Amino acid sequence: MLVILDNSLTALTPTNQAEISGLESVLAASYNGEHFLTTDFKTVRSLLSLPLSLRGKAALQRLRGNISRHGHLPYAESFVIRIVKEGEYVRVSARTWTLPISIFKNKTFPQSVVLGENLLDARAYISAASQARAKNRLTESCRALPDAGGGSQTAIKLENYLNHGNGLCFCITDGDYVAPVGSKSPVTAQCVSLTNTGAWPSFATDFDGRSIENIIPLAQIEDSYAPLPIPENFHTYKKIAETDPETIKYIDAKSGLKYCNLQKMKPTSPKHSFWSQKIVKHGLQARFDQFSHSPPTCKDENCTGCTLIPGIGANTLKRVVEYFEKNTSQKLAQRVSLGSQWVGLGINIFHWTMADKPELT
């Protein structure tokens, strides 16, 4: 995250151990490449006169050398922690906090955490941040630890970070939207509420779509099959995406659109009417009617005899994340578009995880 050393720190007392120890923690976070530090010339000069460790001094000297290139900071999308001499935790806005330096006395400055529904999701989001960084030609690094929640566990994990201050948590829950209507999932609503009421910096969001596979760019999913041939199911899925991206946003990406699942929707519900229109749009009415006359026997959720639009399988995310982690963000960025939801989410995560390069020791 972007950490700003406020100019009130020019009044730090050399003999105040709480202040000096807190300052050491902040400087170590920059030195170790965990957060991005900035300030103004006057403040950095003043801090250099304090009795600090070699590591603290090295971080400040590097900062002094780099400040002239920080004129563009903060970005409009930046998340900012401003470190001040005195005061309480304050959430200034949804993206800005002030914290007094003594909070970090004898404590490690917490790292940025990306909390997803599971570890694969979290790793994919961290890659999205690097891809968005490359796509937007940003030069700062980013660094985060992935963490896994899952259903109500996600809110419990987030709350734990808020209560213990042992991580700066960016929490992303699945949209779980099955149609472009409906409200936020209870878990998302709970995470957003925790972020708004907790006394520690965090951010919670979902995305417009069902699960992460629905928002990963299809070109990347396609690339991830190599060197194996692209399966027929994917060709069908992609053809639908080309004429109707909305369907791909809300479909069950893993198992597709199935007759038996439609039967479970209330016929008067907006989601039923959404999918009924899609069946007509994609020329599936005859097949749907056929199922109505002789319903398929579906024993469990793995049924396949009732498929109207194929899914792309349960292994997609694992394969895609491995593909992401094997390739450079520059290469991956060539297959995403600037205005896409994937890049929009990625740029937010980038700003949450923005970091200095680690100093070599």
Positions in the binding site for Zn ion (CB under 5 A)? 258, 260, 298, 303, 306
3-state secondary structure of 73: coil
Total Cβ atoms within 10 A of residue 197: 9
Q: Which is nearer to Zn ion, 72 or 293 (CB)?
A: 293
CB-hemisphere CA count at 13 Å for 348? 19
Q: For residues 183 and 270, what is the distance between their CA atoms, to the nearest angstrom?
A: 12
User: Which pairing describes strands 354-355 and 257-258: parallel, antiparallel, or unpaired?
Assistant: unpaired
**Minimum separation from the CB atom of position 233 to Zn ion (A):** 16
Q: Which is nearer to Zn ion, 241 or 260 (CB)?
A: 260
**Minimum separation from the CB atom of position 238 to Zn ion (A):** 23
Q: Which is nearer to Zn ion, 148 or 303 (CB)?
A: 303
Q: Which is nearer to Zn ion, 145 or 260 (CB)?
A: 260
Work out the angle between the directed axes of helices 270-281 and 285-293 (0-180°, nearest 10).
Answer: 120
**Minimum separation from the CB atom of position 266 to Zn ion (A):** 18
Query: 320 with 124: CB under 8 angstroms?
Result: yes
**Minimum separation from the CB atom of position 250 to Zn ion (A):** 18
Give the neighbor-by-neighbor strand order of the sheet with 145-148. 145-148, 112-116, 168-172, 202-205
Total Cβ atoms within 10 A of residue 288: 15
Query: 144 with 349: CB under 8 angstroms?
Result: yes
Q: For residues 98 and 89, what is the distance between their CA atoms, to the nearest angstrom?
A: 6
Q: Which is nearer to Zn ion, 104 or 259 (CB)?
A: 259
**Minimum separation from the CB atom of position 289 to Zn ion (A):** 16
**Minimum separation from the CB atom of position 302 to Zn ion (A):** 9
**Minimum separation from the CB atom of position 292 to Zn ion (A):** 13
3-state secondary structure of 9: helix
3-state secondary structure of 264: coil
Q: Which is nearer to Zn ion, 123 or 210 (CB)?
A: 210
Query: 96 with 79: CB under 8 angstroms?
Result: yes
Q: Which is nearer to Zn ion, 233 or 327 (CB)?
A: 233
Contacts of 184 (CB under 8 A, 6+ apart): 192, 206
Q: Which is nearer to Zn ion, 18 or 298 (CB)?
A: 298
Both structure tokens of 126:
């961290």
Contacts of 304 (CB under 8 A, 6+ apart): none
**Minimum separation from the CB atom of position 296 to Zn ion (A):** 6
